[in-house]
Amino acid sequence: MTEPVEMWWARRQWSKGAEVPYPIGHYRRDWERYPVLVRQYHPDLNSGITLTQVPPAAEVYLLWQCDSGHRFVATPEEQRQRPGQSRRRSTWCPECAAGATRRAAPTPARSLSPMRPRAVRVAQRTAPSRSAVGEAFHSALAPKPASAAEGDLRHRLTQRLAVDFGFNAVRVARPFFTRYEVWPDIVIDELRVAIEYDTTGRDGLEHVGRREESDRRKDRLLRASGWEVIRIRCGKLRAIGPWDIEAGGVSTKTVDRLIDRLGEIRGELIVTSYRVH
Ligand SMILES: [Zn+2]
């Protein structure tokens, strides 16, 4: 069964028991013979997964973009079979191919969002009715932002990254407390990174002792779903994960470090493509 890219990736993570089921470069030799497809493929349109991580026979819907800017969904196999139908260059894109046969007056490309092309989400176009493991969504159950600092952090991020900040939950494979969802403070679906803003609270009770253990469990569930977690750890809280940032609070410097972290996790090129200029 052909699946959307997020579901396909999450399933491979599960079946292979690895966070990165196919390392970058693994299928390079299978794809380098198709330079047009290499050019049509953009990791930022496909959850950050590179083409060299996609087996040529994978039953997965990928989002492609031709040189003229047309976007279309096709499996690896469909794309590799296209030249069999015609020798024309337009054959690599269904919309260009249709235009070439029609010989019609040039129609403006039906652009999805010319100003913010990379903000288009594959998941919205192909999402199943029930959310899958690793899928971000809006949960009515999630608590409202707890502190002014957290709101400040979110606001600063909206000024730096053109991503959708409308999500507040991620579907996970096993229950966290009683539900198959977790509620990070900030959810960046485009990069599959959750950001938590941790302080010990007025009474010094938050994120310590047993609560730290539940934080760690939450992070493990997210990672098992293909996500990464960055915790901004304030006050005397020490880092508990590989990407955590120990900080005094929300500042420009904190946000800079956070953006750097995103680049370390998902690659500078991908993160730069979401930068607000
Ligand atoms: Zn085209």
- Give the integer Cα–Cα distance in Å for 192 and 266: 9
- pLDDT at 1 (0 to 100): 85
- Going from the Cα of 88 to the center of ligand 1, the distance in angstroms, rounded, reads 12
CB 178 within 8 A of CB 137: no
Strand blocks (E) in 165-262 = 169-176, 179-182, 186-188, 193-198, 228-234, 245-247
- Going from the Cα of 103 to the center of ligand 1, the distance in angstroms, rounded, reads 14
CB 76 within 8 A of CB 3: no
Residue 117 pLDDT exceeds 60:
no
CB 242 within 8 A of CB 31: no
pLDDT (tens digit per residue) in 66-85: 888 889 999 999 888 887 65
Give start-end residues of each CATH 3.40.960 domain in the chain. 136-273
Contacts of 247 (CB under 8 A, 6+ apart): 232, 233, 234, 253, 254, 257
- Give the integer Cα–Cα distance in Å for 43 and 49: 5
* pLDDT, the chain, mean: 85
- pLDDT at 105 (0 to 100): 43
Supply the pTM of this predicted model. Answer: 0.55
- Going from the Cα of 104 to the center of ligand 1, the distance in angstroms, rounded, reads 14
- pLDDT at 68 (0 to 100): 82
- Going from the Cα of 80 to the center of ligand 1, the distance in angstroms, rounded, reads 16
Residue 103 pLDDT exceeds 80:
no
- Going from the Cα of 41 to the center of ligand 1, the distance in angstroms, rounded, reads 13
3-state helix, strand, coil in the chain (%, to 5): 40, 15, 45
Question: What is the H or E stretch that residue 213 is in?
Answer: helix 210-224
Residue 172 or residue 202, greater confidence: 172
Write the CATH number of the domain with boundaries 136-273. 3.40.960
Residue 111 pLDDT exceeds 80:
no
pLDDT (tens digit per residue) in 226-255: 999 999 999 889 999 999 999 999 999 999
Residue 120 pLDDT exceeds 60:
no
- Going from the Cα of 42 to the center of ligand 1, the distance in angstroms, rounded, reads 15
Question: What is the H or E stretch that residue 65 is in?
Answer: strand 60-65
pLDDT (tens digit per residue) in 168-199: 999 999 999 989 999 999 999 999 999 999 99
- Going from the Cα of 40 to the center of ligand 1, the distance in angstroms, rounded, reads 10
CB 157 within 8 A of CB 255: yes
- Going from the Cα of 111 to the center of ligand 1, the distance in angstroms, rounded, reads 11
Residue 118 pLDDT exceeds 60:
no
- pLDDT at 84 (0 to 100): 66
- Going from the Cα of 37 to the center of ligand 1, the distance in angstroms, rounded, reads 12
- Give the integer Cα–Cα distance in Å for 191 and 197: 18
- Going from the Cα of 93 to the center of ligand 1, the distance in angstroms, rounded, reads 5
- Going from the Cα of 30 to the center of ligand 1, the distance in angstroms, rounded, reads 23
- Going from the Cα of 69 to the center of ligand 1, the distance in angstroms, rounded, reads 6
**Residue type (1 letter), 195:** I
pLDDT (tens digit per residue) in 11-68: 999 999 999 999 999 998 888 878 788 888 999 999 999 999 999 999 999 999 988 8
Q: Which of 35-44, 129-138, 265-274 has the lowest mean pLDDT?
A: 129-138
- Going from the Cα of 74 to the center of ligand 1, the distance in angstroms, rounded, reads 13
The 3-state DSSP class for residue 174 equals strand
